Structure 1
Amino acid sequence: MTTTLITGANRSLGLETARRLIEAGHTVYAGMRDLGSAARAASLGAVPVQVDVTDAGSVAAAIDSLPELDVLVNNAGVLGSSLSLDDLDADAVRDVLETNVVGLVRVTQAALPLLRRSANPVIVNVASGAGFARSLATPGTDEHGVLAVPYASSKAAVIALTVQYAKNLPGFRVNASDPGYTSTAFNGYSGHQTVSEGTDATVALAQLGTDGPTGQFFDRSGLVAY
């Protein structure tokens, strides 16, 4: 049995990832800041776990509660309050980086001892095409219209972190996924993909074997070349 922890698993992409991996046979621990929203995850067969990725004590307690760990899905993330230069300041950047980047590192570092005991350790970092410079700079892409500096910068960092973790952990499969422009509360349900489509890459990467790729960036169509 594969044991998986998903952060930000109380709704939208995280909850759908939990549902699909449970369906694939994983034992899923659904991480969430507030256990008041645990019912949906529990109804799918997931084990709700309180974890706030911005709080070291919360992260440590969550990891300590796991009997084992094979797959870590770093899904928790925030859009932030700044959507253009008109409302941008250093605090807005700091707040987003604390969850999307520092929080990812905090959880991953805490989880490494458990993951190292697995015969097939896997890490999936949920990034975004908004963190991929080529997509941001190409007219006609979904990402080109994104003006938010903190969010795009944080997801660019997630992609870079993925490459660096993969180089440092050669026995692991460490990859980043791009959900694409998916209809969720995150974007006011404006996306053109379903949550199932938005989790395709994450779910596939979470099921990689020891011979799978590592240090790469994937969307639901496959490899996104750097």
Structure 2
Amino acid sequence: MTTPLNTQIAFVTGGNRGLGFETARQLGKLGILPVIGTRSEKAGVEAVAKLKAEGVTAEFIVFDATKPADRKKAVDYFQAKAGRLDILVNNAGVYLEGEPGVSHPYTTSALPEKVLRDTMETNFFGPVALTQALLPLLKKATAGRIVNLASILGSLTLHSDPTSPIYEMKSLAYDTSKAALNSFTVQLAFELKGSSVKVNSAHPGWVLTEMGGPSAPMNVEDGAKTSVQLATLPADGPNGGFFHMGDALPW
């Protein structure tokens, strides 16, 4: 099924729950067609049904960014749907080091290699490979937008400042994956300067989701706002920045 030329299309990975679902919902409320990437058909069907109940038209594809075949499937899907992609939200991610801000079973020197590799595969290598695959379709959009879901925990500046609020919150695998994703944002933004495509990193906040844990102070509605803002930037909006609720964050 094709999409009307005047309808923007967004691909939100990990969009069947938490921040991804809320991001898809808010984009849908703006008249954008959210396509949810989810690891199971059951989860996709349920997410689309929930959005439909709120008056939001959405679609889904079974998708895992770490699988080359799924990345190709996504390219083929958006090529067939509209011959372009307007918005990519690299939202899917994992935290494998306890409960954020509460418990941490690993010290930096004793972090298991598997935890580091699994975290980097999902939080960094997957989004980079997916973005590279979809970039030709994003360049065909009138105003392509890429949002990388980073975290303030990826800020090397704040992690090295004893007075910062995150100084005591060290999670080597997760923090490193988000710092690496921020580096990708900077590098890709340089390549894209002068084009119609913008790429930025978003810090959603510490959000009350399954991954964020029950101690998180921020609701999911507010947590999705930064991604939505960056996904809908005007032509004079920033490129290659790191933001939370419109405020720039230190790298």
Q: Common fold, TM-score beyond 0.5?
A: yes
Spell out, residue by residue over 1:181-224, the C-alpha distance to the aligned partner (whole angstroms, 9 max, x if none): 11111132211110011111111000012221100000025222
1:50 aligns with 2:62: yes
* Secondary structure of 2:117 counterpart: helix
Q: Which of these two proteins has the greater Rg computed from alpha carbons?
A: 2
* Alpha-carbon separation, structure 1, partners of 2:131 and 2:163: 35
Q: How far off its partner does 1:63 sit?
A: 2.2
- TM-score normalised according to structure 1 size: 0.94
Matched, 1:175 2:200: yes
Contact 1:96 1:154 in 2 (8 A): yes
Give the structure 2 partner of residue 22 of structure 1.
Answer: 28
1:213 to 238, 244, 249: 238
| 1-structure distance, mates of 2:59, 2:117 | 31
Aligned counterparts of 2:97 and 2:208: Cα–Cα separation in 1:
19
The answer to whether 1:64 aligns with 2:80 is: no
Is the 2:205–2:218 Cα contact (8 Å) retained in structure 1? yes
Deviations 1:114-152 (A, max 9, x none): 111111111000000000123323456553332211000
Matches of 1:18 and 1:105 in 2, distance apart? 21
**In the alignment, residue 60 of structure 1 is paired with which amino acid?**
K
Q: Which residue of 1 is the match for residue 167 of structure 2?
A: 144
Partner Cα distance (1:93, 1:219) in 2: 26
Range with greater deviation from structure 2 (35-44 or 152-161)? 35-44
The residue type equivalent to 2:113 in the other structure is A
List gaps (5 residues or longer) in structure 1.
none
Answer whether contact 1:72 1:124 (CA < 8 A) is retained.
Answer: yes
Work out the percentage of aligned pairs sharing the same amino acid. Answer: 36
Give the partner amino acid of 1:64. D
> Counterparts of 1:82-161 in structure 2 under 5 Å?
83=104, 84-85=106-107, 88-139=111-162, 141-161=164-184
Q: Distance in 1 between matches of 2:231 and 2:244?
A: 13
After superposition, the C-alpha distances for 1:17-64 in whole angstroms (9 at most, x for unaligned) are 000000011011011111221212343122011110110001111221
User: Which ranges of structure 2 fall in alignment gaps of 5 or more residues?
Assistant: 1-6, 52-56, 99-103
Select the residue among 24, 35, 40 that pairs with 2:41: 35
Aligned to 1:3: 9
TM-score (structure 2 length as normaliser): 0.85
How many residue pairs end up in the alignment?
Answer: 226
User: How far apart are the structure 1 equivalents of 2:167 and 2:137?
Assistant: 39
Distance in 2 (alpha carbons) for counterparts of 1:153 and 1:128? 10
Post-superposition offset of 1:69: 0.7
Preserved contact between residue 162 and residue 215 of structure 1 (Cα < 8 Å): yes
Q: Deviations over 1:60-95 (max 9, x none)?
A: 112211223111000011112474227512221111
Task: Judge conservation of contact 1:42–1:48 (CA < 8 Å) in 2.
Answer: no
In structure 2, what is the Cα distance between the partners aligned to 1:166 and 1:30? 25
Instruction: State the distance in 1 between where 2:26 and 2:33 align.
Output: 11
Partner AA of 1:5 in structure 2: F
